Amino acid sequence: MICSLFARCSLAGTALLLWAGTLPGDHGPTAIRPDASHDRPRARDVGVAPGILPTGPLNAITDVPGVRVGHHTLKTGDNVRTGVTAILPHGGNILQDKVPGAVVIGNGSGKLAGCTQVQELGEIETPIILTNTLSVPAAMEGTIRWTLAQPGNQDVRSINALVGETNDGRLSDIQALAVTPDMVIQAIRDATDGPVAEGSVGAGHGTTCFGWKGGIGTSSRRSGDFTVGVLVQTNYDGYLEILGAPVGHELQRAGIETDDANQGGSVMIVVATNAPLNPRTLERLALRAILALGRTGSVMSNGSGDYVLAFSTAESVRRTADRRSTIGQVLDLPNAGMTGLFRATVEATEEAIYNSLFKATTVTGHHTRRELPIQPTLDILRRYNRLTQ
C-alpha cells in the first residue's frame, strides 16, 4: 500500500497538486492522517470544476458582498466531535436591516428553527446558524443573546432565530449537549468576509457524507453583474457521483469500502446572492440547489432533512424599518433575468458539496469516518474523462 502523501510543487509557474494515496486494486485499509484540511485540495484544484460559469475570487459564499462566515469547532475528550457555523448576511444590525429570504424543503425529516416565519414573511433577521440536531435550542439562545446585545435592539421583544442542523451522532456524543450559547456567540463574532475554512470544521466537524467524512463546503459563481455563493453542511447518504461519474460504485468495485453509505442523513444548503431578489424569486433560486444535490448521488432518503435557505444582500430589497411600515417602491430583478442565476446556483452548490468531501479529514469519535481517498477518486474521474486538467 502506498502511504498517503500530499506535496506541492511548481512547474513553469503553475502550481501542481500531487496526491499519492491508496490505488484501485489495493484492498488494504486507508491510512488515517492527522487532521489537517489545509493539506487536502479543493475540488477545483485537481480538475473537478462543475459547469461553465466563472467563480468569484475566493470561490466561496463570501464572494457575495457583505456575507461573513465563522466557525466554532468542538473536540472534547474521546467522543465529542461537533461545532457551530454562522453565516451573516451582512455586518450590520440584521434585525433592524432584514434581508429577503426563502426556504425550500426537499425532504423534511429535520429541524430548521425559524423557517415558518421566513416562509410567511419572507424575511431573515438573524445570522443563520448551523449545528447538530440536539444543539438547536442552545444555538437559538446564543443567536438571541447576540441579537439582543446589538445597539438599537434594547426594546426588542421577539427574535426569529434561524438555526439548521444535521445529526452528527455517528461520530459525536450528541447527548452530551456540548454546544453552548457562548460558542454560538463566538462563531458569530469570529465571522469574516475572507476565505472560508472547509471540511471537518464548525458544524461539519462530526458529519458523514456517502459514508466518507463530510463537512462544510462552499463555492461561488458569477452571472452577469451578480454573484451567487453557496455554503453546505453535508451529512447525507447515497452513492457518490462526481461530474456524472459513479465514483462511489467504482471505489466499491476497486475494494475501497466505506461504512454506512446508506444510513440516512441530512444536508443544509445556504444560498446567498447580491442580485436584487424578492422572497418569491429567492424561493425559485433555492429550488435549483436541490438539482445539484441530485447530481451528487442523493435521493433525499426517507430520514433525510434536506433544506435550502436563500437570501439576497442587495440594498434595494433590504427590509429596513421604513420599508416595513410604509408603502414604497422596491427594485428587484424580473423573472426574465433569473435563468443565469439558476445555473449559478446549481453549479456552486454542486462544487460546494464536492469541496466538503475533498477538504474533509478523517475524524474519530464514537466511530471513525475516513476522508475520501483523493487519488483513487481522481483515477476514476480520469477514466471517465471528467477532469479539466
Which residues are annotated as catalytic? 266, 304, 306
**Among 255, 170, 254, 217, which residue's Cα sits nearest to residue 357?**
217
Q: Which cell numbers hold the place of 140?
A: 437559538
Interatomic CA distance for residues 84 and 308, integer angstroms: 18
Q: In whole angstroms, what is the distance from residue 383 CA to residue 388 CA?
A: 13
Give the span between the Cα atoms of 139 and 268, in whole angstroms. 15
Number of residues in the chain: 389
Strands 305-312 and 266-273: parallel
DSSP structure class, residue 337 = G
Q: Please count the other Cβ atoms lying within 10 Å of the Cβ belonging to residue 17.
A: 17
CA dihedral 367, 302, 261, 173 (to 10 degrees): -10
**What is the spatial distance between Cα 177 and Cα 152, in angstroms, rounded to a whole number?**
32
The three cell numbers locating residue 98: 432584514
Intra-chain end-to-end CA distance of the chain, in Å: 26
Rounded Cα gap, residues 202 and 187, in angstroms: 9
Task: Quote the CA–CA distance of 265 and 236 in Å, as a whole number.
Answer: 4
The x, y and z cell numbers of residue 292, run together, are 445539484
Q: Within 10 Å of residue 389's Cβ, how many Cβ atoms?
A: 11
Q: Which residues contact 253 (CB under 8 A, 6 or more apart)?
A: none
Strands 162-166 and 128-132: parallel
Q: Give the closest residue to 264 by CA, choosing from 206, 213, 305.
A: 305
Cα separation, 136 vs 34, whole angstroms: 30
User: Of 238, 215, 225, 222, which Cα lies nearest the Cα of 354?
Assistant: 215
